[in-house]
Chain A
Amino acid sequence: MSSERFDVVVIGGGPGGYPAAIRARQLGLSVALVEREHLGGVCLNWGCIPTKALLRTSEVHHLIQRADDFGLNVEGVSFDLAKVVKRSRQVSKRLNTGVKALLKKNQVTVLDGFGRLAGPGRVAVESADGSVSEIEAGSIILATGARARSLPGLEADGKLIWAYREAMVPKEMPRRLLVVGSGAIGIEFASFYNDLGAEVTVVEALPRILPVEDEEISGIAHKQFEKQGFTIHVNATVSSLEKGDDEVTATITPESGEATVATFDRVILAVGIVGNVENLGLEGTGVEVDRTHIVTNEWTETGEAGVYAIGDVAGPPWLAHKATHEGILCADRIAGSSGLHPMKPERIPGCTYCRPQIASVGLTESAAKTAGREIRIGRFPFRGNGKAIALGEMEGVVKTIFDARTGELLGAHMIGAEVTELIQGFVVAMNLETTEADLMHSVFPHPTLSEMMHESTLDAYDQAIHI
């Protein structure tokens, strides 16, 4: 029996898979995309986008609390949680429909079902009704993403103990919330619930919150969050969760010292993610799995001829924009495009949309030192910036790290209002291998927050004007 053949079959329609499919079509290849649930993946349906919608609500709510600062009289502020969640879901729905339209416009064949390898150049698609069909594929892109990690004894039940998915659609506001894990996901939820009035406790096993960020930024964030009312335990783990009727009793065990017991209404588990590598038919192929991630080279190739892996399933950093970039690179690689460049992991920015926001790219101060770089560090505080003062956002800093010998911009780390929208300037700068001189010679518009990027650069060379 002959089956339909595509040049490229993409398994998974998230922020890695659907751009890969579109790019491959642009390059003249025939493409099928197999998606088991929602086009747009976790990012668009259960991650990046709906949480940004929630955080917008908590941000506006916070601003209203400060209305008096701006000379506004606002009274009797309250919120309707169901409407908050509904808006977040509508945002996702709108984008999900958008992805569907994009794929249609680009003539990508979308197959609903669970895709897996079925021998060289073959993909089996299992539909929801259990029927299985097979298609032929010139190349196969695995873009199956990842899911929340659960630790032994700390499994989400969806009711009292949530993973990100339940945390995004709360039915009622928890009064006391425990967040286990202080990476970007944990901190964003902590910030959202805290700004809407929950008492939030964060537990982090490592010595500091937001452990991938620059230590100085982590420290500033820690202080800010405590000022906002967070209870933060670092160097501590949650050793047990005992569920009651409508509450959970947690035992929080610090690395040294006495364990404490506290009761919460809800718990959010945000202790990392694991790749979706199960039931993909990888057994007996050359595709190598290291722990829960598929091993790839810099061209997204796996150990099996004609099989590629991109995005979360191919390992950290678990970021949608990394997946998208890999997806496009992968499609170009398959099509034999010229002038391709492997992605440079140290140039992938990271953003956390808590309040205050955090954004970074490149090496942290300690990583730069560990790498043996002689460095110059620049810092510029929000309170020295006119626009920040006008906005009433005076907490935060822009920190830059340069190689003292060559002037290379090694890293940029920011905390404060809107920094997630600023970081791209440094990303472009890094990609163009600019030095401090080019940044100094660039004219930054006044009055904007971006002037802090300029001043931070100047400060690294003791030339800052406004501090």
Chain B
Amino acid sequence: MSGVTDSIPIEMPQLSAGQDEDASAGATLASWLVAVGDLVEQGEVVAELETDKATVELESPVAGRVLELIVAEGTEGVVPGTVLGLLASDEASENASAGSGDGAASASASVSADMDSGASEEPAPPANTPPEYSGSVGENADAPRSTPLARRAAVANEVDLAELAGTGAGGRVVEADVLRAAGQSEGASAVAASEEQRASAPLDSIASAAPVVASIDESVALEEGVRSVRLSTMRKTIARRMTESKQQVPHFYLRMRVRMDEVVSVRARLNERLAAEGRDIRISVNDFVVRALALGLRDVPSANVQYAGDAMHAFERVDVSVAVATDGGLVTPVIRDADRKGLTTLAEEVKFLAGLARDGKLKPEQYQGGTATISNLGMYGIESVYPILNPPQACILGVGAAEEQAVVVDGELQVGRVASLTLAADHRAVDGAVGAQLLASVRARLIDPLGMML
């Protein structure tokens, strides 16, 4: 194999006499004026440096090609002698492009040569050299660990490794991860195809019985005091959906404080009456909130929507999902047509569905298709709840505890019951003003609960 290609460092120069005495006061790398792959002349300005006194231009020590920019723009306190970047001298960069480079530096050089080969004057590699994709796409500091084959596939398919989660040993990105991201099927190779067949053919029956595995103790001691517990299907679903929501749905939050005195007093009277009539149902504060949200969505139909890619789905029905904590995790049974149901009906339905949820007996139609969700942690004394959206819904209302607080009414201090309501909304479908209208409507209903009993 041919010789090693040397890379030439671009170093932070000594900028002021006093700098060494106080290393922490080193210079700032203000900006790079070149990019990886650029050809530079000797003496060409490649970067701007800032000291506490002045801006200084940094010149390239040699003519060549920029291999790597090591120190990021804006990095402060860079001390003299720090290697800021690497150059391949003209000669070296030509060697690298011949495909016999050695080590990371020259491999990157050849990539850069590859990338702009249309414009450059690099000689075409001889026919027998390996396909030289290798390189820097996979080797930036942010990228996860990846295999050499995955890095080549990333370049060939224009996939950014930094955005991939690796499925290989220790989270390493393997070729299959890249091909999946690129939308290519692994079936490209017969081996992979037959492997898939092997995996899937006898499996239909097994897949449905997945929890099987945990039929023994579901947890395993990892070390003293730490146990590893296998995720249930439910937990996995929650994890996946919440991650998707938090990462992909641009939420915004609106918070409002609402006087709940009337709700509390009306609720007490209603429950007295129900008890007097011998009925086995009690209305909760949450039932009032469900009804208030349902009526609010009817008042503000532009909030009763879902974002659907090229379209917006606007709902005529108002189906409110209610978050219920169960041993297995969070589930959200749906109260259908909640805007057309009275408080007792709502109370009975919520109680019934929550019971099914806790017993794990909800049917899909009982937890799918809500148009908005309520997440109430008031019973735990939580002041404000900032919920994650329940996709594909556009709105979720977080409800805090209705507690006695000091409130100012007409310039006078009083004691009142106040709850904090927080609306999280998908900004792709719901703008701030619409969210605010919805929240205001909900508040109006809760301030005057008799109004929502009509």
A interacts with B:
yes
Residues of A within 8 A of B (CB): 7-8, 27-29, 121, 138-139, 286, 288, 295-299, 301-303, 305-306, 333-339, 341-342, 344-346, 363, 367, 370-373, 404-408, 431-438, 440-441, 461-463
The interface residues of chain A lying within 8 Å CB-to-CB of B171 are 339
6 additional A-B pairs beyond A138-B216, A305-B212, beta carbons within 8 Å, are: A295-B202, A301-B206, A335-B220, A341-B167, A371-B191, A406-B175
User: Across the interface, do B149 and A435 meet the contact criterion of CB distance under 8 Å?
Assistant: yes
Which B198-233 residues have C-beta < 8 A from chain A?
A: 198-199, 202-203, 205-206, 209, 212-221, 228-230
Bound-complex Cα distance A29 to B221 (A)? 9
B220 touches A336 (CB 8 A): yes
Cβ contacts A to B, 16 pairs, < 8 Å: A8-B216, A29-B220, A138-B217, A303-B206, A305-B215, A334-B216, A335-B220, A339-B170, A345-B198, A404-B131, A431-B169, A433-B150, A433-B175, A437-B107, A437-B130, A437-B132
CA distance A256 to B299 in the complex (A): 88
A303 touches B205 (CB 8 A): yes
* Interface hits, B111-156 → A, CB 8 Å: 128-132, 134, 147-150, 152-153, 156
CB contacts (< 8 Å) of B149 on chain A: these are 406-408, 433-435
B168 on interface, CB distance cutoff 8 Å? yes
Q: Which 9 A-B pairs have the closest CB atoms?
A: A138-B216, A433-B147, A336-B230, A371-B190, A433-B149, A305-B212, A462-B128, A295-B202, A298-B199
Shortest distance from the beta carbon of B103 to any chain A beta carbon, whole Å: 7
Does B170 lie within 8 Å of A28, measured CB to CB?
Answer: no
Cα–Cα, bound, A185→B219 (Å): 43
Q: Closest residue to A438 on the B side, CB-wise?
A: B148
Is B272 positioned at the interface, with any CB of A under 8 Å from its CB?
A: no
Residues from chain B with Cβ under 8 Å of A302 in the complex: 206
Q: Shortest Cβ distance from B339 into chain A, in angstroms?
A: 45
**A339-B169, A406-B152 given as contacts; is B215 within 8 A of A436 (CB)?**
no
Which of B1, B189, B219, B221 has the most A CB atoms < 10 Å from its CB? B189
Q: How far is the CA of A258 from the CA of B219 in the complex (A)?
A: 66
Contact check, A333 vs B213: say whether CB atoms are below 8 A apart: yes
Residues of A within 8 A of B337 (CB): none
Q: Give the complex CA separation of A295 and B197 in angstroms.
A: 13
A178 to chain B, nearest CB (A): 35
Which chain A positions have C-beta within 8 A of B228?
A: 335-338
Partner of B191, one of A27, A346, A431, A436: A346
> In the bound complex, what is the Cα–Cα distance between A335 and B190 (angstroms)?
33
CA distance A389 to B228 in the complex (A): 55
Nearest-neighbour CB distance to chain B for A139, whole angstroms, equals 6
Select B202's contact among A303, A333, A338, A344, beta carbons within 8 Å: A303
In Å, the complex CA distance between A440 and B221 comes to: 44
Chain B residue numbers with a CB within 8 Å of A437 are 107, 130, 132, 134, 148
Chain B residue nearest to A346 (CB atoms) is B191
**A336/B218 in contact, CB under 8 A:** yes
Judge whether B128 and A407 touch: CB under 8 Å.
Answer: no
B1–A440 touching, CB < 8 Å: yes
Interface string of B166-192 (1 = CB under 8 A from A): 011111001100000000000011110
Asked if B131 contacts A405 (CB within 8 A), the reply is yes
Interface size band for B: 35 or more
Tell me the bound Cα distance from A138 to B156 in angstroms: 48
* Nearest CB in chain B: distance from A140 CB, A: 10
Known interface pairs A297-B203, A432-B147, A434-B149. Does A345 touch B195 (Cβ–Cβ under 8 Å)?
yes
Say if the beta carbon of B102 comes within 8 Å of chain A. yes
Task: Note all chain A residues with C-beta closer than 8 A to B216.
Answer: 7-8, 29, 138-139, 306, 334
Contacts of A432 in B (CB 8 A): 147-148
Q: Whose C-beta in chain B lies nearest to the C-beta of A343?
A: B195
What are the interface flags for B1-32 relative to A under an 8 Å C-beta threshold, 1 for contact and 0 otherwise?
10000000000000000000000000000000
Cβ of B202 and Cβ of A441 under 8 Å apart? no
Once the chains bind, are A297 and B206 in contact (CB under 8 Å)?
yes
* Complex contacts, B132 vs chain A, CB 8 Å: 437
Q: What distance in Å separates the Cβ of B139 from its nearest Cβ neighbour in chain A?
A: 13
Across the interface, do A341 and B199 meet the contact criterion of CB distance under 8 Å? no
Distance in angstroms from B353 CB to nearest chain A CB is: 30
Q: Which chain B residue shows the least CB distance to A137?
A: B216
- Are A298 and B147 in contact (CB-based, < 8 A)? no
Interface centre among A297, A333, A367, A370 (most CB of B within 10 A): A297
Whether the Cβ atoms of A372 and B147 lie closer than 8 Å is: no
Q: Given the known A-B contacts A297-B202, A298-B199, A346-B191, are A406 and B215 also in contact in the complex, defined by CB atoms under 8 Å?
A: no
Candidates A336, A345, A435, A438; contact of B213 at CB < 8 Å: A336
Which B-chain residue is minimally distant from A296 (CB atoms)? B202
Contact present for B148 and A341 (CB under 8 Å):
no
Smallest CB separation, B82 vs chain A (Å) = 28
Residue of B102, B130, B198, B206 near A436 (CB, 8 A) is B130
Nearest residue in B to A341 (C-beta to C-beta)?
B169
**A305 nearest CB neighbor, chain B only:** B212
CB nearest neighbor in A for B203? A297
Closest to B152 in A: A406
Q: Are B191 and A306 in contact (CB under 8 A)?
A: no
Chain B nearest Cβ from A348, distance in angstroms: 12
Chain B 85-98, CB within 8 Å of chain A: the 1/0 string?
Answer: 00000000000000
Tell whether, in the assembled complex, residue A341 and residue B175 are in contact, meaning their CB atoms are under 8 Å apart: no
B212/A301 in contact, CB under 8 A: yes
**Which A residues lie within 8 Å of B128 (CB)?**
461-463
Q: A433: which B residues are within 8 A, CB to CB?
A: 147-150, 168, 174-175
Which of B131, B134, B190, B220 is within 8 Å of A337, CB to CB? B220
* Minimum Cβ distance to chain B for residue A106 (Å): 16
**Set of chain A residues within 8 Å of B1, measured between Cβ atoms:** 440-441, 463
Which A-chain residue is minimally distant from B217 (CB atoms)?
A7
Q: How far is the CA of A334 from the CA of B153 in the complex (A)?
A: 34
CB < 8 Å neighbour of A406 from B153, B174, B190, B212: B153
Residues of chain A with a CB closer than 8 A to B220's CB:
27-29, 335-337
